[in-house]
Chains A and B, each alone.
Chain A
Amino acid sequence: MNSEQSMNEQTLDQLQRAAFGYFLQAVNPANGLIADTSREHSPASIGVVGFALSAYPVAVERGWMARADAADRALATLRFFHDSDQSGSPEATGYKGFYYHFLDMHTGARVWRSELSMIDSALLIAGALTAGRYFTANSADEIQLRELVDVLYRRVDWSWAQHGGATINHGWKPESGFFHYCWDGYSEAIVLYVLALGSPTHPIEGDCYQAWTATYQWENLYGYDFLYAGPLFVHQFSHAWIDFRGIRDRFMREKRCDYFENSRRATEVQREYARRNPHGFAGYDENCWGLTACDGPRNQMPELAHERRRLFGYAARGVPYGPDDGTLGGWAALASLPSLPFAPEVALCAARNMLQRYPEILSAQQYTSSFNPTLTSADRGPWVSTGHFGLDQGIVVMMIENYRTQLIWRLMRDCPYVGTGLRRAGFRGGWL
């Protein structure tokens, strides 16, 4: 290991630990809920709680948290969801085993008139299953923890979320019912479909997954053949839990690829886009990229090389068609790390380069959600998103761990529900 890599290893450790620190800072220990962001009055996000539940095993393995404390924290979380109001009323916590996207940090009641979110519920359940696979001791706490995980998973009525359609619906509100659009087109929803297929109690119909993959587009872009999706997080979120190396569904068998390799290619496409930098934004190059779901400098309209471009707030930025307002998620490069096993330096160089050029993108050693080098002021440097977002910290913790030890992947490979779900989706080969 040369000195440069050594520095990276040390930096990685610092970044991973700092990212995990978010879950200690933003938690309500009484119910395990984690704030969506570190901003004042932020509610809890159930997706972020899913990341936290997945991160506790990492913290134990790395010695950042005692096993008993981590189990306690996970148990508090699971107890809360188990006992929560599942009536589906506007102030409840959930319905049909799903949960509202945003919850009050203290009471756990729905806030912001948020939707019953299918994908965020899946991230929460994935986190619960991860914790369930890790905390396998025969202590009373860990036994109860595993029982609660099982109850939470089994009570999710995934088939209800189809609402009679071919694919899974995006969400539901007590005031207006189901949304009128579904999960179509390649997205971060594989983990949702896998969990929904693996259920022993309320699985979705078998052809639901095929209906979803029927909306895929296999494209040759910038010289790379890949399953197209613009934002980088789409190629990372499901991959944080599921080890896609060597396993293929029917679509990927036909394309002689897999979702793991696909994410590598998607990363290369990001680099190609940043190298081209069609809108002439400051900073973009092959070592400075990360168009993904992140915060942004909404409502500003600077003149950019004679081109007026709209700026966005929190948005799923993507390539090559945008939205692109010059805002990058600095953490996205590290989240690509495990998908680059033969060329980790691609992600490491980008992460190091962005940190060196724009040290402001870290605050309290944690990644901010995003930065925009085009919007630079003389005294403050590039525009940087305020505070921290839980999803970003979670994906950094998990993906660095998968790169280093594959811990999360190993845990979930042993989860029978995931194995069943993958097989029902038509996945074969590899570790399956």
Chain B
Amino acid sequence: MPQRNDPYSTAPQDAHERERLENVHPGGWRNPQPAVRYSLAVVGAGTAGLVAAHAAAALGAKVTLIERDLLGGDCLNVGCVPSKTLIRTSHLYADMRNAEQYVAQTPANIRVDFPAVMQRMRGIRARISRADSVRRLIAAGVDVFFGQACFTGTDALTVDGAKLRFKKALIATGARPDTPSIPGLVEAGYLTNENVFDLTELPRRLLVIGGGPLGCELAQAFCRFGAQTIITQNWPLFLPKEERDAAQLLSDAFARDGIEVRLNTRAVNVRVEGGQKLVDLVSDDYKSTVAVDAILTGTGRVPNVEGMNLDAAGVDFDTTTGIRVDDFLQTSNRRIYAAGDACLEHKFTHTADASARIVVQNALFLGRQRLSALTIPWCTYTDPAIAHVGIYVRQARAQDIPVKTFTIPMHDVDRAIADGEEAGFVKIHVRERTDRILGATIVARHAGEMINEITLALVAGIGLRTLARVIHAYPTQAEAIKKAADAYNRTRLTPTIQSMLRRWLAW
């Protein structure tokens, strides 16, 4: 299996880093003596692996968890946790510069102490790593092995010379950044989520290649820290899976932040000259070259499926789409399941968590829980953030489902006006002429918090009529959801009903 260039962070080995490593891969660790047979062997200790190991152990199963690198996986070490920590600081800098909007004084001489920002990130990451620590796993009764897992048959694997037999196994090996095949990129050096959080110095000029969630989030954060940032995207809009309006609002926000947006643009060549990276860009027939100090790529993720001898285990896989699973997350070997980024299209921490819980039920308790039954929200934590749950209008229309969207711009929401956070909207898609919610997209500064209400409604089968009866604390930005429900109720007032009401009230 491909290894990261540096298995451990090259960030300053301060007290925070020492604490984190002590939690997620202690120095001098010695693997335990294997049990005769495990009820569940979990390969990979990212979110999916940790959730499954803790859940199975809590239910009384004999569990082993094998990790080749760091407990906590991408989310804790090089993903959600460090990126959201940086984003929070970058928000504050944006607010400081934007203070006059609130008639507050813009602080004089706003200076970004980037090393301190990264130190704060390391401190928070270390603190959160306690929850994923090896000590907690041991306390839960889990046998933790560090090393590369390698299947030797359909019910056994080896790690660090030890043979582990299992009744059931879970492969939760996650994914890694996909490297775009741009000539000269590797030689020039580039950043991905796996090493960008090790930076100790802010690049003066940054090129972000790829307009997906990671690229968008970090482009905005680094721009707000003061890096001259260019973002290229090989499509007319960012986040191509999202609604056009969402992507358009994001483009506008980027432009306000001062990011140089290059849509419909491909990076085709990289070279180093005079200590700077020169990147050739092509947009249709227009060619240009930009000079930057660092390049960050965010062009997708590929599953970690190599190096485990999956063939010996009888597990089918594809290097692009990952481990092949059915709707019950079972692989081609009925003893072995998969969860998280190694097998799922939606590569999110919360999806990894939910899929791991399905596996514990299905593998150990004859469960028949289905992946397709999950309702999965997601959010890109830009400013404004872009959150979605359920299906998109184009998906509904492709399935011939009549769909109607109730739209509330945030500039119609009192709290958003008061907060000066009017960029965005709530769009709730319903089956036409019913109140049944099919999906929703929210663009708002706190869209990630707001989408949870729609997710709850979807899971519980709550329609817009009921949502209209839910009293929302006033003033909150989530009131936009209530307003959408109220808009639905108003469409129920057909001319006939309105006429009847008028007659009733005149009586």
Contacts and interface: CB of A to CB of B under 8 A. Distances in A.
B116 interface: no
Interface in A294-348: 303, 306-310, 320-323
Contact of B264 (A175, A180, A228, A306): A180
Interface in B417-441: 420, 422, 425, 427, 432
B103 to A, nearest CB: 7
B285 A176 contact: yes
For chain B, give the interface size range.
35 or more
B284 interface: yes
Given A221-B407, A321-B248, A173 B412 contact: no
Contacts of B422: 278
Contacts of B51: none
Contacts of B101: 306-308
Nearest to B409: A320
Listed residue (B100, B234, B402, B405) with the most chain A CB atoms within 10 angstroms of its CB: B405
B476 to A, nearest CB: 19
Nearest to A177: B284
Nearest to B423: A321
A179 interface: yes
A323 B252 contact: yes
Given A223-B487, A321-B248, A321-B249, A113 B285 contact: yes
Range of interface residues on chain A?
20 to 34
B364 to A, nearest CB: 43
Interface in B369-402: 393-394, 397-398, 402
Contact of A181 (B103, B235, B252, B256): B235
A215 interface: yes
Interface in A184-200: 185
A214 B394 contact: yes
Contacts of B491: 220, 225
Contact of A310 (B256, B404, B432, B488): B256
Contact of B397 (A175, A214, A308, A322): A214
Contacts of B490: 223
Nearest to B405: A219
B107 interface: no
A321 B397 contact: no
B312 interface: no
A1 B490 CA distance: 37
A320 B427 contact: no
B394 A225 contact: no
A62 interface: no
B281 to A, nearest CB: 13
B255 interface: yes
B305 interface: no
A147 to B, nearest CB: 36
Contact of A216 (B100, B234, B397, B409): B397
A223 B407 CA distance: 9
B337 to A, nearest CB: 36
A271 B378 CA distance: 34
A379 interface: no
Nearest to B266: A180
A106 interface: no
Nearest to A308: B256
Nearest to A178: B284
Nearest to A220: B406
Interface of A: 113, 115, 173, 175-176, 179-181, 185, 214-221, 223, 225, 228, 230, 254, 276, 278, 303, 306-310, 320-323
Given A220-B404, A221-B407, 5 more contacts: A218-B432, A220-B405, A220-B491, A254-B432, A321-B249
Interface of B: 98, 100-103, 234-236, 243-245, 248-249, 252, 255-256, 264, 284-286, 393-394, 397-398, 402-407, 409, 411-412, 420, 422, 425, 427, 432, 487-488, 490-491
The 10 A-B residue pairs with the shortest CB-CB distance, nearest first, are: A175-B285, A278-B411, A176-B285, A219-B405, A221-B407, A320-B409, A176-B284, A214-B397, A306-B101, A220-B406
